[in-house]
Amino acid sequence: MFDTAEIYGPHTNEELVGEALAPVREAVVIATKFWRAGSRGAIRSSVEGSLRRLRTERIDLLYAHRLDPRYSVEDVAGTVSELVDEGKVGAFGLSEVGATTIRRAHAVLPLAAVQNEYSLWARESEGTVFDTLEELGIGFVPWSPLGQGFLTGTVRPGDRFSDGDVRAWFPRFTKAAREANAPLVDAIARVAERVDATSAQVALAWVLARRPWIVPIPGTRRLERLEENLAAADLRLDSATVAELTAVVDRIRVHGPRGTGNERYS
């Protein structure tokens, strides 16, 4: 499964994904997201643009990237339902939403997946969101399961971010916040050493162990990191190790908001 969105670039990431996957289109699942879920016409226009850039006749999994409060999620789901009927969309998903919104959308068009941020340091979806997904049979696709790279141990308190790196303005990535959150990274590193894996693999394996219907989507720019992340699927943490990591996060108060502007799901 390859996950992209019209806002990435904007548009250029869909173009790259479309070009790269065209020769193997039938062997992959393509997921993309339309940005602000608004009017019927706006959603349709976004989808037509994505289909063109992705060089495909059908988007396998289409998410509403963010919901526009001026429009009801029921209307958004209704528009996507039309696109499913027309064969342009295979399945419907929502991003950055809570249990109430999930139920409202699902009543109009069954959801295949919800994509919220989730990792060892972003656990807001635990509780009502997870309970709702389990009840309704909806998959969960955590974005940023490596905490924008912080959980891999490659981002240290004294590091400076390059121009264009969005972490430079995330509250969770100030020098003070990185120093305060370092004990979490250290705990992951200790487990990684014990199980002969990397910190990134341990962080991903923890996410995978939380529920059987979780499919994380780590991003990377380098082939060796892609291979490292893929190997996490073969790392099985025992229940004691999963509980150990969870207990560490329970003890450590993570400093700094996530930075998305939507820390509470509704």
Distances in whole angstroms, Cα of residue 56 to Cα of each of 19, 47, 52, 87, 215: 10, 11, 7, 11, 23
H or E segment and range at residue 202? helix 199-210
Identity at 69, one-letter amino acid code? P
Q: What is the DSSP string of 134-154?
A: HHHT-EE--B-TTTTTGGGT-
Our separate counts of H helices and E strands in the chain read 9, 6
Q: What is the DSSP string of 97-120?
A: --HHHHHHHHHHS--SEEE-B-BT
First CA to last CA distance, the chain = 27
The answer for 11, left when phi > 0, alpha when psi is -120 to 50, beta otherwise, is left
Specify whether 8 is catalytic: yes
Pull the structure tokens for residue 42.
């706006």
Active-site choice (8, 71, 118, 265)? 8
Number of Cβ within 10 Å of residue 182's Cβ equals 16
Annotated catalytic sites, by residue? 8
